[in-house]
Amino acid sequence: MALVGVDSKRFEVRDSSILQQMPWLTQETHALRWMDHCGSEITHHDGRCCVEAREWFLGWARSMEAASLVEGGMRAPTWLSDRFEWGPSAWPIPWCELIEQKVIDCGVFAALAREVFLAQGTPAFPAQAVIRYSDRCTRHWQQYWKEGDPGTSRELFPWVGSELVYHEICVVESKPGVARFYDSTWGNWYIPQSRLGYGSLVALRAFCSEDLQWGKYQIRPLEWLVIS
């Protein structure tokens, strides 16, 4: 859901074993773009405007954390939704523009949550998910995205499929070698269990630097893991 990616090795989607693992790739028009996409990054003008905007954000984060719950040694930034609403963002987005926004997409939510975890001293990395919904839901989101288009010449990422959607989240190394996936847009932690149906997690990928354990799953850097 963003046009700027982290500088990392790209996913080789034309590998036929991947198609066997993820047969839904062939059913979704934009699936190859989802697979090829990297985690979103907020850009920086390399000047006072963005330095001050980022400092303002981190200061605000500290003040919000003071009143938030500690859980597993972390203070998850559930309060991001106090200021920002979920909706379309035009990418690339620099810090100084971002803090003026009321509406941000999941890529921006994830990038901000990472900043907060890192400032708390918790290793945090970009992560991506593919989630199953109903076509009724996806039709509604497609319409919402069309209406909320910020109207720039920049293209909005085609994250909504027919039954699946692409979503950006955040992975933290909560203890050495242990992963936890945080949905920065909706403020909840994913449960490492496979289930079917509406809202179920189909696959995820983490841009972590080494293998991490997530429940019974082993998370390998930059590799998609099929959950259900």
Instruction: Give me the least distance between CB of 42 and Zn ion, in Å please.
Output: 10
Question: Which residue reads 């918790």 in tokens?
Answer: 122
Angle at the Cα of 18 from the Cα atoms of 186 and 111, rounded to 5 degrees: 30
Which of 50, 61, 74, 208 is close enough to bind Zn ion by CB under 5 A? 50
**79: its two tokens:** 């309060």
Which of 96, 124, 156, 212 is close enough to bind Zn ion by CB under 5 A? 96
Segment interacting with Zn ion (CB under 5 A) among 38-46, 59-67, 114-122, 130-138: 38-46
Query: Which residues, in sequence order, are bridge partners of residue 225?
Result: 204
- Give the nearer residue to Zn ion in terms of CB position, either 45 or 175: 45
Segment interacting with Zn ion (CB under 5 A) among 2-10, 92-100, 115-123, 209-217: 92-100
Instruction: Give me the least distance between CB of 41 and Zn ion, in Å please.
Output: 14
Q: Which helix (H) or strand (E) is 90 found in, with range? A: none
Are the beta carbons of 8 and 38 closer than 8 angstroms? yes
Instruction: Give Cα separations from 59 to 56, 63, 106, 183 (angstroms).
Output: 5, 6, 22, 22
Are the beta carbons of 221 and 204 closer than 8 angstroms? no
Q: Is 94 in the site for Zn ion (CB under 5 A)?
A: yes
Query: Which residues, in sequence order, are bridge partners of residue 71?
Result: 74
Instruction: Give me the least distance between CB of 191 and Zn ion, in Å please.
Output: 38
- Give the nearer residue to Zn ion in terms of CB position, either 94 or 148: 94
**181: its two tokens:** 């996936």
Site string for Zn ion, 145-174 (x = CB under 5 A): ------------------------------
For the chain, helix (H) and strand (E) counts, in that order, are 7, 10
Determine the size of the site formed for Zn ion (CB under 5 A). 5
Closest CA to 186 of 163, 171, 168, 200: 168
Which of 10, 45, 146, 175 is close enough to bind Zn ion by CB under 5 A? 45
Instruction: Give me the least distance between CB of 94 and Zn ion, in Å please.
Output: 5
Q: Is 49 in the site for Zn ion (CB under 5 A)?
A: yes
CA distance 221 to 211: 6
Binding residues for Zn ion (CB under 5 A): 45, 49-50, 94, 96
